[in-house]
Amino acid sequence: MEARRQIIICTRTHSQISQIVQELKRCHAFADKVVLVPLVARKSLCVHPSMAKVETSTAVNEKCEDLNEKGLCIHNDAQVVTLLADNITAKPLDIEELG
């Protein structure tokens, strides 16, 4: 099997990331040969129920660190991280699809 290529693209906005993902998905012959992983802040992707009402990125980061230090985040688990990594790299995903 041919090695998958990694492309690193930096953007300022989520809409720019979305445009890149959509264009890659349209290129069917190319899409399965690259790994595309949008990287965004915790505030955009955290699915922990207690984060829903946290408003600032700084507060999200502090709460996340606190939950992890206390072992209260069920999403910070080696098996979950491995499963997530496998799914993220399987095909190009937009930020909303990651969440």
Alpha carbon distance 45, 7 (integer Å): 21
pTM metric for this prediction: 0.52
- Give yes or no for a contact between 91 and 31, defined as CB atoms under 8 angstroms apart: yes
Question: Considering its fold, how many domains does the chain have in total?
Answer: 1
Tell me the pLDDT of the chain averaged across its residues. 77
Q: What distances in angstroms separate CA 34 from CA 27, 30, 31, 48, 88, one per listed residue?
A: 11, 7, 6, 30, 12
* CA 97 to mean position of chain CA atoms: 9
Neighbours of 41 (CB within 10 A): 10
Q: What pLDDT digit, counting tens, does each position of 50-88 carry?
A: 888 888 888 888 988 898 899 888 877 777 778 777 777
Tokens of 87: 């799914």
Domain of residue 81 covers 5-98
Q: Mean per-residue pLDDT for 20-48?
A: 75
Q: What is the DSSP string of 40-89?
A: --HHHH---GGGTT--SHHHHHHHHHHHHHTT--TT--HHHHHHHHHHHT
pLDDT value, residue 82: 80
